[in-house]
Amino acid sequence: MKKLLFLLLIPFVGFTQNIDELFLERGEVNFSFEYKNKNQLNDISDIVSIDHKTNTELAYAYANKKEFSEFLKLGIDYKIIPKKIISYKNGSKNNWDYYPTYEEYVDMMIAFADSFPDICKLHNLGTLNSGKEILIVQISDNVGQKENEPSFLYTSSMHGDELAGYILSLRLIDYILNGYNNNTRLTELVNEIDIWINPLANPDGAYYGGNQDVWSAIRYNSNWVDLNRNYPDPEDGSHPDGNPYQEETNIFLGLADTVNFTISANMHGGAEVCNYPWDTWSNLTADDNWWQYVSQEYADSCQTNSGNGYFNYLNDGITNGWDWYSVAGGRQDYMNYFKHCRELTLELSDNKTPNPNDLPALWDANYPSLLNYIEQSLYGIRGIVTDSITGNPIKAKVEITNHDVDSSHVYSNLPIGNYHRYLYQGNYSLTYSKNGYYPKTINATILNNDIVIEDVQLLPFGNTNSISEIATSKSNKIINIDILGRESKANKIKLLKTKKGTIKKKITIN
């Protein structure tokens, strides 16, 4: 028995030495391997971080030392991909063909708020142990004030070496701020939406080689944890990756608890495709047709505004996440399932850190799509839910009969009592409910890129007139036009509205 034990230990000693050598310079390794089928790939995805460069035959992955040790136990042949430190010649901020130093990035974010104080506010969401800050700008006509409008979120580069979105986000902030009161569309976006943009969610990874440049950027954070596997998961629960929630994760968990975002997107790189939920399981979302619609709108616009071959990966530039490969602990599923926010993942470039010379072309291809997606936050059905006796706003559940599954319902949010429900065109029955109140059900017809406004009053229990009371709701519908006033087949700026109507409905008591 002792002899057998000794023989078993021989490869283990060599294995340990190889691992130590492999992780001598950095705490993550990039490698590729062949896989047999999607089920096997999904199983391996529970061990290491599968990369979006993965295709139907060859998988690309990242792993820290612990993860790679587990992968080796599978006995699968692999190939290490050496880290290439490539330093392109930077351009200038005037042309947006460069990557700023970390200090320049911070100065730019401060300058946005200082230059446009009436519509832009800078928030430091938290300072990491390294001293680097997670920064986000908030853009609104009444910035910092709660209003009856949707809150929209863009974040980028939670994988530190996926940096196309880093520059596109900075340029988007600059474009919106300078366009306010000069461009009708941008002005309306700022007036009607509470916009939040975080260009750099993993500064420790992006500036791993030092604050002076991004050419030594890494995927993981400074603790060698993949931040896009570090969120609570609908299927796998808390800590699906086995790691404590990282500083960066806790910061964004706190942001999502503080701001009731209705739509968001998380920018990545390594492919060119819109990835919509779910990532963690094969279930289709209740709003799968809506997701395909808005994803295809993004991809189609990119294709129209770029050269041939851009943003046409997988299903013509869109994919269901699980159909690609499963991910546990991703932020996309966390936001959709736990925060009732519609979030997708934007893969913006095959090259994770594009040559700076390519950044202007990426902007030209993407900025119309980025604006279109922000604009989607204004569509669907929305309104305010109040107490019919006091008129006070209330937090109510808004659920669609025979439609909502997997936490796809939404809530009206305090202090305004406003709700926003995004839907593919069709006829829907919506029920508004809250403990201590009689529920109310209404019917609504939704058109794509259109808005239906339904303000709803709920009657509290104990009112003796509850059964016979007639409730009044105001419907304010805009038909077949862009909410920002642009007719779909003309360049005229014209807003078409139907007259406000009063619809009497009996309260339904179940």
Catalytic (active-site) positions: 347
Task: State the residue for tokens 């142990």.
Answer: 129
Q: Helix 102-115 to helix 164-179 angle, to the nearest 10 degrees?
A: 20
Task: State the residue for tokens 């993993």.
Answer: 202
Contact (CB, 8 A) for 378 and 193: yes
Strand-pair category, 418-421 with 380-387: antiparallel
Determine the residue type at 246.
Answer: Q
| Four-CA torsion 98, 52, 304, 89, nearest 10 degrees | 20
Strand-pair category, 151-156 with 501-506: unpaired
Angstrom CA distances, 230 to 40, 172, 222, 241, stand at 22, 28, 14, 6
**Count of CA atoms in the C-beta half-sphere (13 A) of 378:** 23
Determine the residue type at 277.
Answer: P
Task: State the residue for tokens 């968990």.
Answer: 253
Angstrom CA distances, 490 to 121, 371, 485, 487, stand at 35, 19, 11, 5
Where b means 16+ CB within 10 Å and e means fewer, 50-61 reads bbbbbeeeebbb
Q: Which residues contact 79 (CB under 8 A, 6 or more apart)?
A: 31, 32, 33
Straight-line distance from the first to the last Cα atom of the chain, in angstroms, rounded to the nearest whole number: 72
Chain centre distance of CA 205: 19
Main-chain phi, psi angles of 18, to 5 degrees? -65, -40
Residue (of 505, 313, 278) closest to 406 by Cα position:
278
Cis upstream peptide for 363 (omega within 30°) = no
Tokens at residue 15, please?
A: 């294995």
How wide is the angle at C-alpha 375 spanned by C-alphas 370 and 380, nearest 5°? 135
**Count of CA atoms in the C-beta half-sphere (13 A) of 106:** 12
